[in-house]
Amino acid sequence: MKYISTRSKEKEYSFGEVFLKGLADDGGLYVPKSLKKYSKEELLELKNLNYYELSTEIISQFSSDFISREELSSLIKKSYSTFREKNVVKISNIGDLKLLELFHGPTLAFKDVAMQFIGNLYEYYLNKNDKKINIVVATSGDTGAAAIDAIKGKSNLNIFVLHPNNKISSVQRRLMTTIEEKNVYNIAIDGNFDDCQNIVKQMFSDLEFSKSINMSGVNSINWARIIAQAVYYFYAYFRLGIETISFSVPTGNFGDVFAGYLAKKMGLPIDKLIVATNENDILHRAISNGDYVSKEVKETLSPSMDIQLASNFERLIYYINNSDSEKTAEIMKKVKQNSYQIEKNNLEVIQKDFLSESCNERETLDIIKKNYEENKIILDPHTAVGVGAAKKLSFNDCVVLSTAHPCKFPDATDNAIKIHENLPDELKHVLSKDENFKVLKSDIEEVKNFVRSKT
Ligand SMILES: *Cc1c(COP(=O)(O)O)cnc(C)c1O
């Protein structure tokens, strides 16, 4: 499978390049040149695969020039052996809705599903190539922990994680900063997530710097993450055995919900994808009335979605403009100037596949409370936003992606129901261990110097 950038068709890339580089040199995101589309009959044949087999099937559609199907299969087995659920994910009921529980991995959020896979993909590559790679990634809270867990202790790899100082939950931070491996570096940036993400993007586009340290990225624009996430949309569909399916997806960087869109493009009969946002509602405004203009980031109970510039939205822009990369590049200029209004015809195309809603803080707490009273289920605040969005849209029979374990956000559940869940026993130690992180100003040169000094 060959890949191109969303901003130019001139150059083709292999899966290896796409995976290792994350972002194209022209600043665009990688997309496949063509997509496998499963027919109804073909889908029927996948119906009874277990999670591991299904992952191998879906991912191998994209990665065959990089890893053989047999090797991929054993890499996937290894990746998901760290999960507490035998089939990686689990579907449960919450009233009329279904929850797709994606948080049974080592760091208690859905990011583990893709990240455990990616960590082993790096190892596979480095076993064959005599290289050293430095991973630099920005996190709104959960990506960092998942990436660190997946990379820690692996040889020829360093990982640098930038998180917004004091803007993530202490459990989120501790899952990252208590890891003692010497290839793990935590940096707390005095700024918000968008600042962290911008610094990383600029470090990548500084080709002299990024090449000199052999920089690689695992943030949510990485195509390898997207394809690993597409798998659970298929899995949920097959397990539920229904004709068509809709999902409500708590959304920040538009990565997870884009994976659903990809599944739909590959033939999965998805009716609607609900983009559920917290008060950082740029995507809700964009999808409901075309207003893709970012505002100040607000801190909310669901910090992993405290994002204004949703990087993966560029991929949707590309697809709704019929894979026109020139048009996409033009639009991205407008996005950069913060003046993009989605054209009416494009908005209609988006609304065929997507709905959106946003939940404010009060509503999020109410949802946690109501679901605890009615169903005795404690929702984490991100999942609560997904449930709230489905309810507000009166979408009663959809699957809500449950993106984090409630114990990761004890303040939110304490606030709502005066209860918080404990961490699983194997993670309790992070609450008392010493933390190790470096606080830096939101300044690219400072970050570069720090990274250079460690490589
Ligand atoms: C990252 C994250 C999200 C948002 O996912 P995106 O792919 O950025 O849209 C939602 N919930 C939790 C718990 C997360 O960690």
Cβ of 254 closer than 6 Å to ligand 1, yes or no, is: yes
Residue 143 banded pLDDT, cuts 50, 70, 90: very high
Query: CA-CA distance, 259 to 229, in Å (whole number)?
Result: 6
Q: Which of 77-81, 205-209, 417-421 has the highest mean pLDDT?
A: 77-81
Residue 260 lies in a domain: yes
Residue 140 banded pLDDT, cuts 50, 70, 90: confident
pLDDT tens digits, one per residue of 299-342: 999 999 988 889 999 999 999 999 999 999 999 999 999 999 99
Cβ of 101 closer than 6 Å to ligand 1, yes or no, is: no
Domain of residue 232, residue span: 90-108+224-417
Q: Ligand 1 pocket check: which of 142, 248, 277 to mutate, most ligand atoms within 8 Å of Cβ?
A: 142
Cα(256) to ligand 1 centroid in Å equals 7
Mean pLDDT of the chain: 95
Cβ contact 115:229 at 8 Å? no
Residue 235 lies in a domain: yes
pLDDT tens digits, one per residue of 253-297: 999 999 999 999 999 999 999 999 999 999 999 999 999 999 998
Pairing type for strands 438-441 and 184-190 reads parallel
What pLDDT score does 309 carry? 83
Contacts of residue 316, Cβ cutoff 8 Å, sequence gap at least 6: 254, 258, 261, 350
Cβ contact 300:272 at 8 Å? no
Residue 29 lies in a domain: no
Judge whether residue 22 has pLDDT over 90. Answer: no
User: Which residue puts its alpha carbon closest to atom 8 of ligand 1?
Assistant: 253
Residue 32 banded pLDDT, cuts 50, 70, 90: very high
Cβ of 255 closer than 6 Å to ligand 1, yes or no, is: yes
Cα(103) to ligand 1 centroid in Å equals 11
Residue 326 lies in a domain: yes
Residue 269 lies in a domain: yes
Tracing tokens 């605040």 back to the chain, one arrives at 381
What pLDDT score does 183 carry? 97
Quote the number of domains for the chain.
1
User: Which residue puts its alpha carbon closest to atom 15 of ligand 1?
Assistant: 142
Closest CA relative to residue 176, chosen from 436, 367, 448, 452? 436
Cβ contact 153:183 at 8 Å? yes
Cβ of 231 closer than 6 Å to ligand 1, yes or no, is: no
Atom in ligand 1 nearest the alpha carbon of residue 142: 15
Tracing tokens 């997207």 back to the chain, one arrives at 226
Cβ of 353 closer than 6 Å to ligand 1, yes or no, is: no
Q: What angle do CA 43, 17, 311 make, to 5 degrees?
A: 75
Residue 438 lies in a domain: no
User: Which residue puts its alpha carbon closest to atom 14 of ligand 1?
Assistant: 304
What interhelical angle do 69-80 and 111-128 show, nearest 10?
A: 130
- 309 or 370: which carries more pLDDT confidence? 370
Determine the residue type at 429: H
What pLDDT score does 124 carry? 97
Rounded to an integer, what is the distance from CA 259 to the centroid of its chain? Answer: 9
- 140 or 379: which carries more pLDDT confidence? 379
Cβ of 248 closer than 6 Å to ligand 1, yes or no, is: no
The secondary structure of the chain in percent helix, strand, coil, rounded to multiples of 5, reads 50, 20, 35
Residue 413 lies in a domain: yes
Judge whether residue 219 has pLDDT over 90. Answer: no
Number of helical (H) and strand (E) elements in the chain, helices listed first: 19, 16
Cβ of 5 closer than 6 Å to ligand 1, yes or no, is: no
Atom in ligand 1 nearest the alpha carbon of residue 408: 13
CATH code at position 287: 3.40.50.1100
pLDDT tens digits, one per residue of 344-358: 999 999 999 999 999
Closest CA relative to residue 144, chosen from 91, 88, 200? 200
Query: CA-CA distance, 189 to 180, in Å (whole number)?
Result: 20
CA atoms 396, 402, 405, 409: torsion sign: negative
Residue 21 banded pLDDT, cuts 50, 70, 90: confident
Q: Ligand 1 pocket check: which of 101, 256, 358 to mutate, most ligand atoms within 8 Å of Cβ?
A: 256
Query: CA-CA distance, 90 to 102, in Å (whole number)?
Result: 7
Q: Ligand 1 pocket check: which of 173, 305, 413 to mutate, most ligand atoms within 8 Å of Cβ?
A: 305
Residue 296 lies in a domain: yes
The catalytic site residues sit at 111
